[in-house]
Amino acid sequence: MTRVGFYPGSFDPVTNGHVDIITRGACLFDELVLGVGVHHGKTPFIPVDQRVDLLNSIIGPISAATGVKIRVETFDDLAVDAATRIGAVAILRGLRDTRDFDYEVQMGQMNAQMQPKVETVFLSASPQTRMIASSLVKQIARMGGDVSSFLPPESLKIVTNAVKNQS
């Protein structure tokens, strides 16, 4: 049986925190699917096609290093429904602090009620990425701050362009 994990998120933008969870999470599954959430009522900072392309460029080396198949898909429904549709045994979530813990445990319990066969697996953020939140990265970037230590190089280029295009 292939153990498929599902890591959902907006990835808007892709941060070093996301890369940390993807890298460590890949070791837990035979296949890892990154689910880029598409919310039609929201205007994204980075268009969904760019986020998908960015993730595809980042996952190649991770997949090669871990030997785990990693792919990217978009979804516009509940994460637990997307996980079920792709045959995932677990939803992967990263935790930075107690606020994340409280929210994610509640979400995991709700998902378990809706789909008991899909577990939720939590990974605590590595110390070097614990403070990174994409909302803060966007705010710092929009205000002209240096976000290079929070983003992979591929993402930094896209964030820099997004800020220029929104000015």
Annotated catalytic residues are 18, 42, 96, 134
Res. 42 pLDDT band, cuts 50 70 90: confident
Q: Say what the pLDDT of residue 25 is.
A: 97
Element spanning 91, H or E: strand 90-95
Write out the residue range of the structural domain in which residue 61 sits: 4-166
Q: Say what the pLDDT of residue 41 is.
A: 81
Q: Which of 165, 141, 8, 144 is nearest to 83 (CA)?
A: 8
Other beta carbons less than 10 A from residue 136's beta carbon: 14
At 58, which CATH number? 3.40.50.620
What's the pTM value of the predicted model, to 2 decimals? 0.95
| Helix (H/G/I), strand (E/B), else coil: 90 | strand
d(CA 105, CA 102): 5
d(CA 63, CA 70): 6
Report the chain's mean pLDDT, rounded to a whole number.
Answer: 95
Over the stretch 8-30, which tens digit does the pLDDT of each residue have?
999 999 999 999 999 999 999 99
Over the stretch 125-140, which tens digit does the pLDDT of each residue have?
999 999 999 999 999 9
Cβ contacts of 79 within 8 Å, gap of 6 or more? 6, 8, 35, 37, 91, 111
Number of domains the chain contains: 1
| Helix (H/G/I), strand (E/B), else coil: 73 | strand
Cβ contacts of 97 within 8 Å, gap of 6 or more? 130
